[in-house]
Amino acid sequence: MKNKNNLDPEKAEKLLFQMLLMRKFEEKSAELYTKEKIRGFLHLYIGEEAVATGIIQALKPEDYILATYREHAHALARGVDAGVIMAEMYGKQEGCSRGRGGSMHLFDKEKNFFGGNAIVSGHLPLATGMALASKKLKRDNITVCFFGEGAAAEGEFHEALNLASLWKVPVLFVCENNLYAMGTALRYTHAVQEIEKKGPAYGIESKAVDGMDLLKLMEAANKAVEQVRSSGEPYLLVCNTYRFRAHSMFDAELYRDKTEVEKWKKRDPIPKFRKYLLKENLISEAKVQELEKRLNTEIQKAVDLAEAGTWEAKEELTRFVYSENPVS
């Protein structure tokens, strides 16, 4: 039996487990990074888990997803195996990009998960193009593009929205507004700080939602996805959220006050959702404890797979880099 928010115990448990998995996976990733098991860049999504969970639960398997370099949670929500993601971050061949992409370039064609894109705003035109291809090929799917508010200050953002509106393509633009982009406050980079006001300039319906509340996100996401699917036209959904960790593991985080961070942590979407489920009798304390044990097993299994993974042979290093059959 479902409650007023269209949740039954099975779905409630799945959503909570998903957010907890995202959180614990990234906490373990940060630990492994300090031990130099994971190298390169590492951008954590801790605090923003409700966004990826709320949006992706509304999608169909055939829908396309593009994300930024802060995409571990999106990949997990899409069903990419945690061990395969961890192996990728270790640089092992068992990773979803054969260990060549690392943290910033997760990819899984079977899941229709197309990155993991490192160039800020660079994937927005790709999303518009993929949605155009779906329209031309008469495919019954939509494209969802996650990006940060920093990308909304880039030219590609405006070009992508303009063309998406002109061509009337089925793409959902999801702005994860965490207020600081890489390390500069929104008020210093946007003359108009309400990102949702930018969509109507291109004839695109837009809405802002509390990105720290999974229930509100699910409601907004379900509506937005259904509208894009039925109309075949673009939509901009702005999720106002906050990352609890620094921009990356290299970030000294000198641009925001620690008291502000602690204030936002009180709005943590995970305990908020857990409290709601307990209150609505959609989950029990015993079940929560059981989930915690499952999570610990899942995370350890992922680490074990990565540790046991294999390095690519030197002879393979030029594979996928240079064409093996050059045109003469």
Quickly list H helices, the chain. Answer: 9-34, 49-56, 72-78, 82-90, 123-136, 155-167, 214-231, 258-265, 269-279, 285-308
70: pLDDT confidence band, cut at 50, 70 and 90? very high
- Tabulate helix, strand, coil % of the chain (nearest 5): 50, 10, 40
E strands, the chain, are 64-67, 113-116, 143-148, 171-177, 205-210, 235-240
Residue 49 falls inside a structural domain: yes
Residue 325: pLDDT over 70? no
Residue 318 falls inside a structural domain: no
- CA 307, CA 47: separation in Å to the nearest integer? 27
Instruction: Find tokens 């680490």 and name the residue.
Output: 303
177: pLDDT confidence band, cut at 50, 70 and 90? very high
Residue 105 falls inside a structural domain: yes
Average pLDDT over every residue of 87-110 = 96
11-58 per-position pLDDT tens digit:
999 999 999 999 999 999 999 999 999 999 999 999 999 999 999 999
Determine the 3-state secondary structure of 206 from DSSP: strand
- CA 299, CA 250: separation in Å to the nearest integer? 24
What DSSP letter does each residue of 256-269 carry, written as one string? S-HHHHHHHHTT-H
Share of the chain above pLDDT 70, in %: 97
pLDDT of the residue at 4: 63
Residue 319 falls inside a structural domain: no
Residue 5: pLDDT over 80? no
Residue of 183, 297, 246 lying closest to 33 (CA atoms): 246
136-158 per-position pLDDT tens digit:
999 999 999 999 999 999 999 99
Residue 1: pLDDT over 80? no
- CA 276, CA 218: separation in Å to the nearest integer? 14
Residue of 59, 53, 68, 77 lying closest to 217 (CA atoms): 53
Residue 8 falls inside a structural domain: no
Residue 327 falls inside a structural domain: no
Average pLDDT over every residue of 219-246 = 98
Average pLDDT over every residue of 61-86 = 98
CATH number at residue 97: 3.40.50.970
Q: Based on the structure, what is the number of domains in the chain?
A: 1
Residue 50 falls inside a structural domain: yes
- CA 248, CA 70: separation in Å to the nearest integer? 9
The answer to whether 73 and 22 have CB atoms below 8 angstroms apart is yes
- Domain of 39, in residue numbers: 14-310
Residue 2: pLDDT over 80? no
Structure tokens at 262: 């602690």
165: pLDDT confidence band, cut at 50, 70 and 90? very high
Residue 1 falls inside a structural domain: no
- CA 113, CA 97: separation in Å to the nearest integer? 12
pTM of the model: 0.94
39-49 per-position pLDDT tens digit:
999 999 999 99
What DSSP letter does each residue of 23-65 carry, written as one string? HHHHHHHHHHHHTTSS-S-----TT-HHHHHHHHTT--TTSEE
Determine the 3-state secondary structure of 324 from DSSP: coil
